[in-house]
């Protein structure tokens, strides 16, 4: 779970850095990324068109909420780092907030996995985290092998 969260956060940072070179993430690049993700996950999870109709809206909603939680967690970390002289209580508060964020992510997955299981067999959902890791690894490899401008 922690590895998936760290991988997702790292991926977002790398994507932001890669697309920052062109100074903005264009709609075209976003659509291209989403199309690649859909194709990859559909293949890896062996999702049928009927299953896809239900899976993708739920998955995308879950991912958006996950990103929102991660953003809040990062803001809390930045706030602590910005303090000139943080006290022990500040660190304890930051640890508590990080743990709460991790728990919210876990609760989010539980909630959405239950919803997704109404439309996908457990054997396909089981492959989801593995597919996410493979996709992120593939994307990182592609970014690492892209010629620098």
HEC letters along the chain: CHHHHHHHHHHHHHHHHHHHCCCCCCHHHHHHHHHHHHHHHHHHHCCCHHHHHHHHHHHHHHHHHHHHHHHHHHHHHHHHHHCCCCCHHHHHHHHHHHHHHHHHHHHHHHHHHHHHCCCCCHHHHHCHHHHHHHHHHHHHHHHHCCCCC
pLDDT at residue 48 in the model: 95
pLDDT band for position 27 (50/70/90)?
confident
Higher pLDDT, 45 or 139: 45
The whole model's pTM is what? 0.74
Q: Is 53's pLDDT higher than 80?
A: yes
Higher pLDDT, 30 or 117: 117
pLDDT band for position 9 (50/70/90)?
very low
Q: Is 17's pLDDT higher than 80?
A: no
Percent of the chain predicted with pLDDT > 70: 81
Q: Is 16's pLDDT higher than 70?
A: no
């Amino acid at each position: 779970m922690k590895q998936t969260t760290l991988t997702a956060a790292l991926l977002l940072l790398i994507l932001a850095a890669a697309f920052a070179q062109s100074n903005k993430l264009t709609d075209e690049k976003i659509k291209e990324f989403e199309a690649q993700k859909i194709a990859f996950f559909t293949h890896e999870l062996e999702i049928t068109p009927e299953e896809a109709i239900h899976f993708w809206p739920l998955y995308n909603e879950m991912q958006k909420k996950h990103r929102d939680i991660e953003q809040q967690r990062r803001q809390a970390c930045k706030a602590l780092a910005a303090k000139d002289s943080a006290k022990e209580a500040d660190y304890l508060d930051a640890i508590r907030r990080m743990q709460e964020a991790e728990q919210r992510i876990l609760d989010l997955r539980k909630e959405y996995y239950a919803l997704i299981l109404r439309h996908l067999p457990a054997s396909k959902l089981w492959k989801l985290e593995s597919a996410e890791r493979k996709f992120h690894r593939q994307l990182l490899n592609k970014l690492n092998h892209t010629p620098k401008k």
